[in-house]
Every structure is written in C-alpha cells, then in structure tokens.
Structure 1
Amino acid sequence: MSRLIGLVLVLAGVLYPFAVYFGMGHFAPWQFALLLGALWGVRALTSEGRPGGVSMALTAMGFCLLLGLFNSPQLLRWYPVLISCFMLTLFGLSLMRGMPLIERLARLTEPDLPIVAVRYTRQVTRVWCLFFLFNGFVAAALTLWAPLSWWTLYTGLIAYGLMGLLFAGEWIVRQRVRGRA
C-alpha cells in the first residue's frame, strides 16, 4: 500500500504542473489542496519509518492547508518548490548523517562497495543537492515573475529533462570511473 501511495504521489507530482495549467479554469485551488492533502495524509499513515516520511508528509499537508484556506491560484505554483526543498533536504541530510542516499541506492545492487565507489557516491549525492537547489530557485523565480505557461513548461517538462540529462551524464561518468578501477 505504501509503495502504491508513493507511486501515486510521484505521478501526481509529474502531472501537477499540467493539472494546474489546464485545471485552473475548472477547479478551485482548495480542490487541488484537498486532493494533494489526502494523498499526503495517506502517505503519512503508511510511511513506515522512512527517512523524513512523516515530517515531509506533515509539511506537505501544512502547505495544502494553507492552499485550502487562502484558495490562492498563486500559491498553487509553490508546490514544485516545496518538492525540490524536500529532495534537497533528503539528499543533504544523508550527507550529514549516516550513509549518503546514492550510496544506499548503489548498495542495493552492490553491497560491498569499494572505497573509491563510496567516495564517488558521496560526490554524486552532492551533485543532486546542487541540482535540487538550482531547480528550487528556478521554480521559485518562475512562480514569482513568469507567466503560468513558462512555469508549466519548466516544472512540467524542462526540469524532468534536466533530471534525465543528469542521470545519463552520471551513468556515463560512472562507466568511466568503473573502467579505471
């Protein structure tokens, strides 16, 4: 159940900019808040001790509460900024405490990582932190100063393209690093 809710939240996040762009003429912001708040509420109940699971869900529910109370179309556009902040926090905290997030993911397929790979995964985690910082700033700037169409284009398409480029670039670099090791 927890994975299904996580998948629905990811799908809602990916489709969110388009839902806002095309749905604003048909739905009020409080209706978006109700749907998002319900998804995050279920996520809080099924987080099963995941790092930041409950705190992220409660923060998102707080955002949804504000969105519902103010019923503001402008406030709708801050959700991608919130998600970038969540991701930055998740990756950044993993650098400060315990095992970096990318190292955890790498150990799923290769439990005995050599020390060079551990250092590499730490660097990749830092790169993702920089990406989420950049992405959050761009989304915030577009929220404040750009028309809805630009915001939708960036948060619904360009940001995911940049993530794909980062994934692909990291994969290429990883192959070269492995070749040297």
Structure 2
Amino acid sequence: MKRLVGLGLVLAGVLYPFAVHFGLGHFAPWQFAVLLGGLWLARSVSAPRRPGNLWMAAVALTFCAVLALSDSSQLLRWYPVLVNAFMLVLFGSSLKYGPPLVERLARLREPQLPEAALSYTRRVTQVWCGFFVLNGGIAAALTLWAPLSWWTLYNGLIAYIAMGLLFAGEWLTRQQVRGRA
C-alpha cells in the first residue's frame, strides 16, 4: 500500500504541471487540493516514521488546506516550488546533521566507502542543494511573472531534463573519479 501511495505522489508530482495546465478548464483549484491532500495524507499514514516525513506531510497538507480554502489557481502553481524546498531541506539538513544524503545512497551499493568517496558524496550533495535552489527559484519566478504555458513547459519538462542532465553528469564524473582512484 505504501509503495502505491508513494508512486501516486511521484506521478502526481511529475504530471502536476500538465494536470494544472489542462485541468483548470474543467476542475476548480480546490479539487486539485483535495486530490493532492488525499495523497499526502495517505503518505503520512502509510510511510515509515523517518525524520522529515511528518513535517513534510504537515507542510504539504497545510498548503493543500490553504489552496482548498482560497480556491486560487495562482496558488496551484506554487506546488513545484514547495517540492524543491522540501528537497533542499532534506539534502541540506543531511549536510548539517550527516551523513550526506548522497553518501547514504552510495552506501546502499557499497557499504564500505573509501575516504575520497566521502568528500565526493558531500560535494555532490552540495551540488544537488544548489540545483534545488536554482530550480525552485526558476519555478517561483515563472509562477510570479510567466504565462501558464511557460510554467507548464518548465516544470513539466525542462526541469526534468535538467535533473536528468545533472544525474548523467554526476555519473560520468563519478566514473572518471573512480578510474583515477
């Protein structure tokens, strides 16, 4: 069940810009809020108790409640900014309280990381933090000043291409770093 809810949130996040763009002619913003809030509520009930899960769900549910009460189509466009803020806090807090998030992911494949890998994973976590600041900033600027079509194009396609390029660039860099070690 929790995997299904998690998948639902991921799909909602990926398809969200297109749902907003094409759905606003058929659905009210409060209806988006109810659907999104239902997914976040299900996630908070079914997800394992990990640091961050509860506060993220509380913030997301508060966003959904404000969206439902305001019924504002402009507020709908702030959700990608919220998701980027969540990711920034998760990655950034892992830098402060450790171990860095990328190190945790790396240890899933290779539990005994060499010392050079630890500084590398820290740097990659910092790069991802920078990405979330930039991506969230662009999403916010488009929310404030751009037409819905530009917002949809960026948040529904360009942001994912940028993320994919960052993943690919990091993978290529990691291969080079490993080759030198």
Q: What is the TM-score of this pair, normalised by structure 2? A: 0.99
Asked if 1:161 is matched to 2:136, the reply is no
Contact 1:47 1:54 in 2 (8 A): no
Structure-1 residue corresponding to 2:16: 16
Distance in 2 between residues matched to 1:44 and 1:176, nearest whole Å: 40
- In structure 2, what is the Cα distance between the partners aligned to 1:55 and 1:47? 13
Give, in whole Å, the separation in 1 of the partners of 2:175 and 2:131: 21
Unmatched 5+ residue regions in structure 1? none
Moved over 3 A (4+): none
Q: What is the alpha-carbon root mean square deviation over aligned residues?
A: 0.6
Q: Deviations over 1:119-174 (max 9, x none)?
A: 10000000000000000000000000000000000000000000000000000000
Gaps of 5+ in 2: none
In the other structure, the counterpart of 1:31 is: 31
Alignment pair present for 1:49 and 2:36:
no
Task: Give 1:4's aligned residue.
Answer: 4
* Equivalent position SS for 1:7: helix
The answer to which of 120-129 and 42-51 deviates more is 42-51
Alignment of 1:80-159 (within 5 A): 80-159=80-159
Q: Is the 8 A contact 1:95 1:125 kept in 2?
A: yes
User: 1:3 deviation in Å?
Assistant: 2.2
Counterpart CA distance in 2 for 1:107 and 1:28 is: 45
Counterpart-to-counterpart distance in 2, 1:37 and 1:67: 10
Q: Distance in 2 between matches of 1:49 and 1:106?
A: 22
Percent identity over the alignment is 69
Letter in structure 1 aligned against 2:135 = N
CA distance in 2, matches of 1:82, 1:144: 14
Give the aligned length.
181
Following superposition, the deviation at residue 6 of structure 1 comes to: 1.2
